[in-house]
């Protein structure tokens, strides 16, 4: 309800219902009864669709001059507005926390992704209740709300089947959720949830996650408007594309054969010319130099060029497919009776394109997060399989740099626009009359929430669910819908990500890059006081091409000092530049359902127990005891597995023989198998993992027993040091994610009975 002045309440939820009439001894002696009425949104409140792509650069899609077709963006831009000074945080979880709360990412406790959380206010990745989400606020003001796709804002230690669930998407104010609780997902074999429930694997041989998410968004919006056509909806769609793995159907990849043979340097030049032609950059924009450490295309050999062109073709297919799929969502929205009163915000990337494939590209992104570079000589052997279900592939860092044309740097580098400037399109047919217009105001992702509150007629709550709220730190840009020359409300904005620092103030930008994103191992003795700062006059230098630090040292010092003030205000301190070390939950002391336990017992039917709820089995010795009943001498199927395509282990039966596979980050699969089949009956299978010790990622001797008798033994010369997988946990009695190796067909359900599986770990 709104008050007499049309304002919604600033304290939510509204008071409980209370009958206002006279109550006598009986209903005959009382006033007629009334019921509590559903909350009504403000009159004329629009529907809202927010689409957020993943790991996409400013120069990636054709709508902003890139080389990847984006007809859905084209269509929305033609009826709405393109914004070419919109900024993110340079990383996914932080941007997403800022997007749904309207607060800076450190204010919302998301200095980084959830997997690198530390125990400081700005870094713990536990969304404060004082930072209520737009989903919760709109829901309590009469909106139907849904979140489809990626959720990377739930602490990993809260993602198990026993919750708690108050920081899952449903608990954050969204009536409906369908998607994944992780930074990325295997697009052929994803781990998905519908609200709180694990989604069974698809039986469609042509299944692809992008299409599935689009289907669910279409189905939800149609269902919502069929049931309650007079209520507005808020639909947040966050597909996994174009984050690694770069998975795309072959027919999409075939469309781009030979389209990127010119290489990344020529692509940058061609893209800048297109950007000037379509008006998304000024005519005098300069192409920045190749970021430090990246090779030129000319210095590569023919095989490298062939491989890297193929990797880019797969990436382009992945991006073109997701834009087309988002078009199906837009088509469904446009078919609704109140389509013209729908705000659509389409953001191409939660940060710039990702350089996490390393200088030579990658077959498995998890290699990067475990600190292992890959070699092109190995990767070219799998060139024809890229994009398919056998690899978790990622293109080389130089292609990411090219996707961010005309800027320097990439994802993770918050000091420069290659990490933070993303295309944004806003469509609202009923209210935006400057069709196809361009807007050049300096904006930040925290500005989305206050803009939507203003457009929807919502008062930001002072108190939400009993908790006093932090002020909204974003600034509404709704005034720009009608006026291209409207003055920007934002004068200052800090940037920080892994001590890549920046500060925008009134047309100036101070930038201090620290670590290159393609080298995850970082010097613990690095000194931020020795960090080199650069200075740009960005209202005259769109691309940050001219460093003016030597010419204007006094201005640089002013902005440096301002950065520390902003950092103190928004929980940016203490600075933390550790890299892969922070991925290790055990070493960082993050919360865990395991606690101090060294033993766990699992039963048949356990599916996708998240890694943070499992015993920490890395860099130590451990033992698995599985009590099973074999129905015959030809038992088949998975008994226990943790992880999948990108790393982990599995104990299974094949033709009656026990088999143990250790998957080292998809590049080495060590198989230890018994030579003879086991007879029917009660059996205890034991895997003894004797770790060599002496540090992280060392070797081990693995021995396999059946009823106490050794049946096989093998050696690992190295083991996974940081994390088994990217989002895949433990299954008992079947394999619900991607396969640990390629010798069986999912879900590889065990033909016998698993009575229990016990896991024991030794001290690290």
Same-domain status, 481 and 517: no
The CA distance from 190 to 278, in Å, is: 38
The CA distance from 269 to 278, in Å, is: 15
Residue among 93, 129, 87 at smallest CA distance from 110: 93
- Quote the tokens at residue 703: 């021995």
Report whether 288 contacts 227 (CB < 8 A).
no
- Given a cut of 90, whether residue 515 has pLDDT beyond it is no
For residue 673, list its beta bridge partners. Answer: 659
Same-domain status, 542 and 634: no
- Given a cut of 50, whether residue 192 has pLDDT beyond it is yes
The CA distance from 255 to 251, in Å, is: 7
Same-domain status, 457 and 567: no
Same-domain status, 256 and 387: yes
What integer is the mean pLDDT of 368-387? 93
Same-domain status, 253 and 132: yes
- Domains in the chain, number: 3
78 found inside a domain? yes
- Given a cut of 80, whether residue 712 has pLDDT beyond it is yes
CATH number at residue 199: 3.40.720.10
Higher-confidence position of 3 and 369: 369
Q: What are phi and psi of 247, to 5 degrees?
A: -95, 125
- In degrees, rounded to 5, the angle at the alpha carbon of residue 197 between the alpha carbons of residues 154 and 140 is 60
The mean pLDDT of the chain is 95
Same-domain status, 422 and 516: no
Q: Are strands 500-505 and 176-180 parallel, antiparallel or unpaired?
A: unpaired
- Given a cut of 50, whether residue 5 has pLDDT beyond it is no
Q: Are strands 81-83 and 437-439 parallel, antiparallel or unpaired?
A: parallel
Same-domain status, 225 and 189: yes
In this predicted structure, what is the pLDDT of residue 1?
44
- One-letter-per-residue 3-state SS of 129-168: CCCCCHHHHHHCCCCEEEEEEECCCCCHHHCCCCCCCCCC
For residue 691, list its beta bridge partners. Answer: 700
User: Which residues 6+ apart lie within 8 Å of 509 measured at CB?
Assistant: 502, 503, 535, 536, 538, 544, 559
- Quote the tokens at residue 61: 């899609």
Sheet bearing 500-505, strands edge to edge: 492-497, 500-505, 508-512, 534-537
The CA distance from 234 to 124, in Å, is: 28
21 found inside a domain? no
- Given a cut of 90, whether residue 764 has pLDDT beyond it is no
In this predicted structure, what is the pLDDT of residue 55?
98
For the chain, helix, strand, coil in percent to 5 are 25, 20, 55
- Given a cut of 50, whether residue 209 has pLDDT beyond it is yes
Q: Confidence band (pLDDT; 50, 70, 90) for 4?
A: very low
Same-domain status, 577 and 661: no
- Quote the tokens at residue 554: 């006094």
Q: What are phi and psi of 349, to 5 degrees?
A: 120, 135
Q: Confidence band (pLDDT; 50, 70, 90) for 196?
A: very high
In this predicted structure, what is the pLDDT of residue 596?
86
Last residue of a domain, one of 422, 455, 485: 485
Give pLDDT tens digits for 163-191: 999 999 999 999 999 999 999 999 999 99
9 found inside a domain? no
Whether residue 242 has a cis bond before it, omega within 30° of 0: yes
CATH number at residue 522: 3.30.1120.10
320 found inside a domain? yes
Same-domain status, 509 and 481: no
Give pLDDT tens digits for 277-290: 999 999 999 999 99
Residue among 725, 732, 127, 71 at smallest CA distance from 370: 725
Last residue of a domain, one of 565, 583, 601: 583
Range of the domain at 153: 47-485
756 found inside a domain? yes
What integer is the mean pLDDT of 345-355? 98
Report whether 497 contacts 91 (CB < 8 A).
yes
In this predicted structure, what is the pLDDT of residue 6?
58
Residue 377, SS3?
helix
Same-domain status, 517 and 548: yes
The CA distance from 431 to 411, in Å, is: 34
The CA distance from 753 to 623, in Å, is: 20
18 found inside a domain? no
For residue 394, list its beta bridge partners. Answer: 362
10 found inside a domain? no
Which residue's entry shows tokens 């920081």? 167
The CA distance from 741 to 661, in Å, is: 8
The H-assigned helical ranges of 202-287 are: 209-227, 250-254, 263-278
CA-CA-CA-CA torsion sign (144, 147, 153, 154): positive
The CA distance from 411 to 575, in Å, is: 19
**First vs last Cα of the chain: how many Å apart?**
57
In this predicted structure, what is the pLDDT of residue 523?
81
Report whether 153 contacts 136 (CB < 8 A).
no
Give pLDDT tens digits for 621-669: 999 999 999 999 999 999 999 999 999 999 999 999 999 999 999 999 9
What integer is the mean pLDDT of 676-688? 97
In this predicted structure, what is the pLDDT of residue 91?
98
Last residue of a domain, one of 485, 512, 533: 485
Same-domain status, 188 and 250: yes
The CA distance from 447 to 99, in Å, is: 8
**DSSP letters spanning 296-337:** PSTTS-HHHHHHHHHHHHHHHHHHHHHHHHHHHHHHHHHTST
- Given a cut of 70, whether residue 232 has pLDDT beyond it is yes
Give pLDDT tens digits for 571-616: 999 999 887 778 777 778 888 888 889 999 999 999 999 988 899 9
In this predicted structure, what is the pLDDT of residue 531?
94
Report whether 584 contacts 706 (CB < 8 A).
no
What integer is the mean pLDDT of 65-70? 98
Report whether 325 contacts 209 (CB < 8 A).
no
- Quote the tokens at residue 296: 């030129």
Share of the chain above pLDDT 90, in %: 91
Q: Confidence band (pLDDT; 50, 70, 90) for 3?
A: very low
| CA-CA-CA-CA dihedral for 298, 300, 303, 307, to nearest 10 | -90
| Cα-trace Rg, the chain | 27
In this predicted structure, what is the pLDDT of residue 444?
98
Q: What are phi and psi of 468, to 5 degrees?
A: -65, 135
Report whether 150 contacts 119 (CB < 8 A).
no
User: Which residues 6+ apart lie within 8 Å of 227 measured at CB?
Assistant: none
Residue among 125, 191, 187 at smallest CA distance from 161: 191
Same-domain status, 296 and 179: yes
**DSSP letters spanning 545-574:** ----TTT-HHHHHHHHHHHHHHHHHTT-PS
- In degrees, rounded to 5, the angle at the alpha carbon of residue 685 between the alpha carbons of residues 681 and 690 is 170
Report whether 555 contacts 563 (CB < 8 A).
no
CATH number at residue 692: 2.60.120.200
The CA distance from 232 to 217, in Å, is: 15
16 found inside a domain? no
Long-range (24+ apart) CB contacts under 8 A made by 670-676 are 670/702, 670/714, 670/715, 670/716, 671/714, 671/741, 672/702, 672/704, 672/712, 672/713, 672/714, 673/704, 673/712, 674/704, 674/706, 674/711, 674/712, 675/711, 675/712, 676/711
């Amino acid at each position: 309800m709104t008050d007499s002045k049309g304002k919604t309440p600033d304290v939510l939820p509204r008071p409980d219902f209370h009958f206002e009439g006279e109550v006598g001894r009986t209903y005959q002696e009382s006033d007629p009864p009334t019921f509590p009425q559903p909350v009504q949104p403000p009159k004329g409140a629009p529907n809202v669709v927010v689409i957020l792509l993943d790991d996409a650069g400013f120069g990636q899609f054709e709508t902003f001059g890139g080389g990847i077709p984006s007809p859905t963006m084209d269509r929305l831009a033609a009826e709405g507005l393109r914004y070419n000074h919109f900024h993110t945080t340079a990383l996914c979880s932080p941007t997403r926390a800022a997007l749904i709360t309207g607060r800076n990412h450190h204010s919302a406790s998301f200095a980084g992704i959830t997997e690198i959380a530390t125990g400081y206010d700005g870094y713990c990745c536990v969304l404060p209740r004082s930072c209520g989400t737009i989903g919760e606020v709109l829901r309590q003001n009469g909106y139907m709300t849904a979140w489809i796709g990626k959720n990377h804002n739930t602490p990993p230690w809260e993602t198990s089947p026993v919750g708690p669930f108050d920081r899952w998407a449903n608990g954050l104010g969204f009536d409906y959720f369908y998607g994944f609780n992780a930074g990325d997902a295997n697009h052929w074999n994803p781990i998905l949830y519908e609200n709180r429930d694990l989604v069974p694997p698809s039986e469609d041989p042509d299944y692809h996650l992008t299409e599935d998410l689009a289907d669910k968004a279409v189905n939800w919006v149609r269902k919502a408007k069929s049931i309650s056509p007079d209520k507005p909806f808020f639909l947040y769609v966050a597909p996994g594309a174009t984050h690694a793995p770069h998975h795309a159907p072959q027919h999409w990849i075939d469309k781009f054969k030979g389209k990127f043979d010119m290489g990344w340097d020529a692509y940058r030049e061609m893209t800048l010319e297109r950007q000037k032609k379509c008006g998304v950059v000024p005519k005098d924009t300069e192409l920045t130099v190749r970021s430090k450490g990246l090779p030129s295309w000319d210095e590569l050999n023919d095989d490298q060029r062939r491989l890297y062109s193929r990797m880019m073709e797969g990436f382009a297919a992945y991006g073109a497919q997701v834009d087309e799929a988002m078009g199906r969502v837009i088509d469904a929205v446009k078919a609704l009776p109140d389509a013209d009163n729908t705000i659509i915000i389409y953001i191409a990337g939660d940060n710039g394109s990702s350089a996490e494939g390393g200088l030579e590209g990658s077959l498995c992104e998890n290699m990067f997060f475990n600190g292992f570079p890959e070699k092109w000589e190995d990767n070219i052997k799998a060139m024809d399989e890229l994009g398919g279900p056998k690899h978790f592939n990622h293109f080389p860092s130089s292609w990411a740099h090219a996707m961010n044309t005309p800027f320097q740097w990439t994802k993770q580098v918050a000091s420069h626009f290659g990490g933070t400037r993303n295309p944004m399109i806003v469509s609202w047919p009923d209210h935006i009359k400057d069709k196809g217009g361009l807007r050049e105001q300096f904006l930040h992702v925290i500005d989305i929430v206050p803009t939507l509150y203003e457009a929807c007629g919502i008062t930001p709550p002072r108190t939400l669910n009993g908790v006093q709220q932090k002020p909204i730190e974003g600034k509404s840009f709704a005034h720009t819908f009608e006026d291209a020359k409207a003055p920007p409300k934002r004068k200052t904005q800090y940037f920080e990500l892994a001590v890549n620092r920046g500060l925008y103030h009134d047309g100036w930008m101070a930038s201090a890059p620290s670590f290159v994103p393609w080298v995850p191992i970082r010097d613990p003795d690095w000194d931020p006081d020795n960090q080199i700062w650069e200075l740009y006059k960005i209202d005259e230098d769109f691309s940050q091409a001219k460093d003016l630090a030597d010419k204007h040292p006094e201005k640089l010092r002013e902005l440096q000092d301002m950065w520390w003030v902003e950092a103190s205000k928004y929980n940016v301190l203490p600075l933390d530049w550790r890299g892969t070390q922070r991925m290790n939950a055990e070493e960082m002391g993050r919360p865990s359902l395991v606690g101090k336990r060294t033993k766990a017992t699992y039963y048949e039917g356990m599916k996708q127990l998240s890694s943070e709820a499992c015993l920490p089995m890395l860099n130590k010795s451990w033992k698995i005891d599985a009590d099973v009943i074999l129905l015959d001498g030809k038992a088949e199927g998975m008994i226990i597995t943790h992880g999948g395509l990108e790393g982990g282990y599995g104990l299974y039966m094949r033709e009656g023989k026990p088999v143990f596979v250790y998957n080292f980050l998809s590049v080495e699969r060590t198989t230890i198998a018994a030579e003879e089949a086991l007879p029917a009956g009660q059996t205890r299978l034991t895997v003894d993992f004797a770790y060599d010790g002496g540090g992280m990622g060392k070797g081990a001797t693995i021995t396999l027993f059946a009823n106490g008798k050794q049946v096989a033994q093998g050696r690992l010369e190295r083991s996974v040091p940081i994390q088994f997988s990217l989002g895949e946990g433990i299954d008992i009695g079947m394999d619900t994610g991607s396969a640990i190796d390629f010798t069986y067909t999912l879900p590889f359900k065990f033909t016998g009975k698993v009575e229990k599986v016990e896991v024991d770990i030794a001290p690290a």
